[in-house]
Amino acid sequence: MMANAEHAELKSSLSEENDASQTLTESETNTQSLEEANAMSPSFGDERCLSVESAEGIETQEKRIMDEKISPIERQLEYLLNKADEFQKQLLWSRECLQNYGFAHIVPMFLQTCQPYFTYLESTARNSNPFRPPLSTYIRAQLLQFSQQLCSRLEQLVLLYASFSFFSLEESDPLSISHFYIGQCQIDNMKLSIFRYCCPTPFLASASTSLYKRMRWNVERQIEGEGEGQTYDSAEFYFLCCEDVIEAADDKDGDGRCEGENTETERESRVERIWSIGRWIQTYPDPDTEDITDWVLCSVPCGQYKQLLCLGSEEPSSCTATDCLLGVLLSQETDAAEERARRGLHAAELSRA
């Protein structure tokens, strides 16, 4: 009887999420309001006669106006965070949770409910649109902070439910929740879909390596001359990874002890976790082959990790990691454009000769 009551309560909670997803349309209408807030922001470049006190007063007023514009978006975040807290309490306080079938569906449905909100935050903060003024630095930072807050809270919720064995975190398990969607954005001709792994996951599911992935970006590039951004090339896959690097130890330390005499703590201190961003390079089947036989016979494609950027020993946030990847991709686009320009100039010179 108690289990049925709890199941009904969970069903009611999840139905409320559908109503909450409809309120995202209200957040979407705030995009225009955010642009208006940018337009209202005064320029201080030509106001040299203003005193420091006057300038600070105007900046405070400007910040208040922008806070008012993003307050509906922040309320939506608070709603989703409160729902995550409710689901956690229901799990921890329910006596029948291990026998209640409804608990196994809470996290997948809630993750799906949060997807439109993630898309709104990332696209509003990052999308490049030549017909719209760019967002102010303050508003952009606030939106990305909301995205980071929700991402961290969902990760905690997934790990909690996985600890009760409602689902697996193993990527090889088709019913697992090894990662979840945290947004999408469009930068120039590139569309990025962003995913967060719930915990460090082996880079290759079929082989044991010292490399673990924490984020994945699916990058699709618009095909030129194929309509208005509706046709994209096949996706490229980029990852935020970490690797435990063992530092080389000297034969003797500063006190003259041999390496074998070092304590366990000292030996562990020589292992450093290094973070990097890289690209998946498929090695088999050959991605350029037209023969589908290898694809049919291959159960798991083989590939390797090509590091593009080393980030050091500190794990970046999901938003910071996305910023770093975009820096790399846009730099590559600039280099490619310059190379095409040089080739075109060279070809023009040859034709004139």
**Which residues in the chain come in under a pLDDT of 70?**
1-58, 95-101, 225-232, 248-269, 285-290, 293-300, 335-353
Write down the pLDDT at residue 62.
79
Cβ count within 10 A of residue 84: 19
Q: Is the pTM of this model over 0.75?
A: yes
Report which secondary-structure segment, H or E, holds 49.
none
- The domain ranges of the chain are 1-169, 188-247+266-333
The closest of 125, 154, 162 to 140, measured between CA atoms, is 125
- Identify residue 214 by its one-letter amino acid code: R
pLDDT of residue 3: 43
Write the pLDDT tens digit of every residue in 16-35: 554 554 555 555 555 655 65
Q: For the domain made up of 1-169, give the CATH fold.
A: Glutathione S-transferase Yfyf (Class Pi); Chain A, domain 2 (1.20.1050)
Locate all alpha helices (DSSP H) within the chain, ordered by sequence: 2-22, 24-40, 52-93, 103-126, 137-163, 264-268, 293-297, 318-352
Task: Return the half-sphere exposure (C-beta side, CA atoms, 13 A cut-off) of residue 158.
Answer: 24
